[in-house]
Amino acid sequence: MFGKILIANRGEIALRVICACKELGIRTVAVYSEPDRYSLHVRFADEAVCIGPAKSSESYLNVAAIISAAEITGAEAIHPGYGFLAENPKFAEVCETSRLTFIGPRPESIRLMGDKNAARKRMAELGLPVLPGTEVVRAEGEALKAAEQIGYPVIVKASAGGGGRGMRIVRSTDELPSLLQTAQNEAEASFGSSDVYLEKYIASPRHIEFQVLADEHGKVVHLGERECTIQRRHQKVLEESPSTQVDAGLRREVGHKVIQALKAIGYRNAGTVEFLMDENRNLYFLEMNTRIQVEHPVTEMVTGLDLVKLQIQLATGEALPIEGETVGLRGHAIECRICAEDAESFTPSAGKITGFHMPGGTGVRVDTAAYAESIIPPYYDSLIAKLIVHGKDRTEAIQRMKRALEMFIIEGISTSIPMHEKILADPDFRAGKFSTQFLSRFSPNGVGG
């Protein structure tokens, strides 16, 4: 087991990794930007190193500063969390070159899955169903011809990224030229590559993802699925497990295919394979995230496993302590992402938290690095807390989340709590009848999908 791990991240995920390390008896090193000097991950780590100013490119994305911090503190491994450098194959390679264990997949796996078009092609070769689509398209004429063959509507997607950037829905020939150019420009600005591809667009899909773990000895398991359909501009808002649309047979069938595909590419550590589900409950491979997910707690709640501790143990070469291809799922879990933003306009709301009370009680968990008098800086992601509940079934989980939201007090800034209360009160949500367009009903501008 490692003696010391550096966490190359901030906020709640950095604190989450620190908690796992403490339970494993591992010392921790926090890195922080100047505005994060008084953050909880800095306070609870055994050591902390300032790596630069507020700008991410000069701090949390500064590979040289992070590697230097690891070397001067004697860290043996680096946990990247999610976001920032978590899916950067060059960073994983630099860690290896510097004789630091990167707690995650091998660089070649990160590189393969980071190219969405290449990942889609490879997964299709390995037996996962994919939507009709193209290779990288660059010229307008090439795109127009491909779109006619696929059939409108189509969606333009950035090959090198995700999260809704470099993505445009095209419903007709007239729209394609301008939207193709817009997507290419956005992809170049966001990911340093203007490469895009076309894919058949499903108007009202569900978003289903499978959590996987893989050890150094060739064993791969899946931990069931998460329902991540409630989204705003392709960003997840609420997640749950299991999905109301996935029965035991479908879970077993798709889970087995996922395991076989990941064995074929030699995948290691944690990852998530994401799918779109159409109205006939057909699943199509979307992408793979080669890291721990924001929503990993819902899987922890229904499996009883600590995924971050398992990540660390797998990185040391330990074998997976799971027999067979999966584990049983117990009850139902829901996660609400609480963000520092206005619940109506979704504009960011940075500032000082003047009052803070976290809900508790049976089946309630809060992952956060916020506290009363803490400052929410304007420089980073607006996520400030994840509220997770577990119940014996979905009905109990919804009721438990409803009361937990009512008892969650955050004053001084605006938060997305009122939006979550609207979601939970919606009859269609409670009945499990929704798609990625669900949130559009709460906004005249349409913020779903």
Which of the following is catalytic: 226, 291, 337, 400?
Answer: 291
**pLDDT digit of tens for each residue in the chain (449 aa)?**
999 999 999 999 999 999 999 999 999 999 999 999 999 999 999 999 999 999 999 999 999 999 999 999 999 999 999 999 999 999 999 999 999 999 999 999 999 999 988 999 999 999 999 999 999 999 999 999 999 999 999 999 998 877 778 999 999 999 999 999 999 999 999 889 999 999 999 989 999 999 999 999 999 999 999 999 999 988 899 999 999 999 999 999 999 999 999 999 999 999 999 999 999 999 999 999 999 999 999 999 999 999 999 999 999 999 999 999 999 999 999 999 999 998 777 888 999 999 999 999 999 999 999 999 999 999 999 999 999 999 999 999 999 999 999 999 999 999 999 999 999 999 999 999 999 999 988 765 545 55
Domain 206-442 CATH assignment equals 3.30.470.20: yes
**CATH assignment of 4-103, among 3.40.710.10, 3.30.420.40, 3.40.50.20, 3.30.70.260:** 3.40.50.20
Beta-bridge mates of residue 47:
29
**CATH assignment of 132-200, among 2.130.10.10, 2.60.40.10, 3.30.1490.20, 3.10.580.10:** 3.30.1490.20
Residue owning tokens 């499990």: 432
Beta strand ranges found along 242-331 (DSSP E) = 269-277, 283-289
Helices (H), 115-154: 116-125, 140-150
Where in the chain are the domains? Answer: 4-103, 132-200, 206-442
Please tell me what DSSP assigns to residue 68: H
Beta-bridge mates of residue 366:
387
Return d(Cα 54, Cα 369) in angstroms, integer. 17
Residue 441 known to be catalytic: no
CB 156 within 8 A of CB 180: yes
Q: The whole model's pTM is what? A: 0.92
Return d(Cα 174, Cα 424) in angstroms, integer. 39
Classify residue 195 by burial, with Cβ atoms within 10 Å: 0-12, 13-18, 19+: buried
Residue owning tokens 């798609």: 435
Q: What is the pLDDT of residue 256?
A: 98
Q: What is the pLDDT of residue 445?
A: 52
